[in-house]
Amino acid sequence: MKQFFILPFSVIFFLALSSCSAPTSVAGAVSPTPGQGPRVSFSAPAPGATVPLGPVQVTLLSDDPLGTAQAEVLVNGESVATIPSPDSSRAAVVFEYNWQPAAPGKYVLQAHAQNTAGMWGAFVSLELTVAEAATIEPMESSTPTEAPTEIVTTPTSTETPLLPTPLPPTATHSGITLQGTLSFLQMYPADAPCGTTTNMATATVSPADSVYSVLLFFRIGNKDGTEWNSWTKGLALAPNGPGKFYILFTTRHIANPMPWIRAQVNYQFVGIDKQGKRLLSTPVYTNLSIINCP
């Protein structure tokens, strides 16, 4: 009888001890922090922006080491879109959605994302105003309009990233300094099977709290600089620490569809205040080019 009671107790004790010491993950696997999902931020529209009544381009950045499976967009608390990830194997993913507001007024946009482990991240939100007509011009009349320098590029299947150094000269205004950088100065169309299709723009502002947001504008032209499209609407860079901003973009943010096989791109960083007023801007840079695969 004694053995009858002692044996099960020993087995139970051994199993309990084994379960406590058993490994909980496979070697080399990435385990996310419990209760956390992808970190999401709005790249466009800008927080507090006023946009005309019509389609509004909503751009989200999602970052998760496990990859992002999908994102959800809400307007005034109601879900309007669930967007599948364009590439769930990547840590950083860009989501795009064309939102059509029903009427002018003030709106609150929210978004969050789910990683490949099924965990949803925290909501982020921004407020914007939809007006009857556009009230903000993307570029001032004082913006340099001289003919851009021709960019000569040689197609190659491999790209060389630039060092993360600021692009001179630096724009200053009333003691504010704004510096802008692109990770690559040569890009391929967004659906190209070769080379760099996603680029990153970063901006640094000093003092850190001197601007509310930084916008990035593009204008694309043919390789000879004889034909040019209009300036795009500004893309809002996401905050990335005190005085630091960033955004991931593809050629679809510059032109969709691409009007030329080979093109050069002008771009400019603009610092704005909370009311969307321009505070300062960098010079118009002319050193970004877009080419097709060789």
Using DSSP, state whether 64 is helix, strand or coil.
Answer: coil
Tokens 């680029």 found at: 199
Q: How far is CA 289 from CA 104, 157, 165, 243, in A?
A: 38, 15, 19, 28
Question: What is the structure's pLDDT at 106?
Answer: 94
Mind listing the pLDDT tens digit for each residue in 67-107?
899 999 999 999 999 999 988 887 778 888 889 999 999 99
Q: How far apart are CA 113 and CA 126, in angstroms?
A: 16
How many domains, in total, are found in the chain?
A: 2
* Backbone angles phi and psi of 161, in degrees to 5: -70, 145
Q: Select the more confidently predicted residue: 121 or 49.
A: 121
Question: What is the structure's pLDDT at 173?
Answer: 66
Question: What is the structure's pLDDT at 155?
Answer: 27
Using DSSP, state whether 188 is helix, strand or coil.
Answer: coil
Question: What is the structure's pLDDT at 9?
Answer: 43
279 within some domain: yes
188 and 95 in a common domain: no
Q: How far is CA 18 from CA 22, 27, 119, 162, in A?
A: 6, 18, 29, 52
Question: What is the structure's pLDDT at 133?
Answer: 53
Q: Which domain holds residue 112?
A: 39-131
19 within some domain: no
pLDDT range class, residue 115, cuts 50, 70, 90:
very high
pTM: 0.50
Nearest to 184 by CA among 79, 65, 274, 291: 291
191 and 118 in a common domain: no
Q: How far apart are CA 73 and CA 87, in angstroms?
A: 18
Joined tokens for residue 76 = 């005034």
Residue after which a domain boundary falls, among 131, 155, 189: 131
138 within some domain: no
Question: What is the structure's pLDDT at 23?
Answer: 32
Is the pLDDT at 161 greater than 70? The verdict is no
Mind listing the pLDDT tens digit for each residue in 243-279?
888 888 888 889 878 888 899 999 999 998 887 788 8
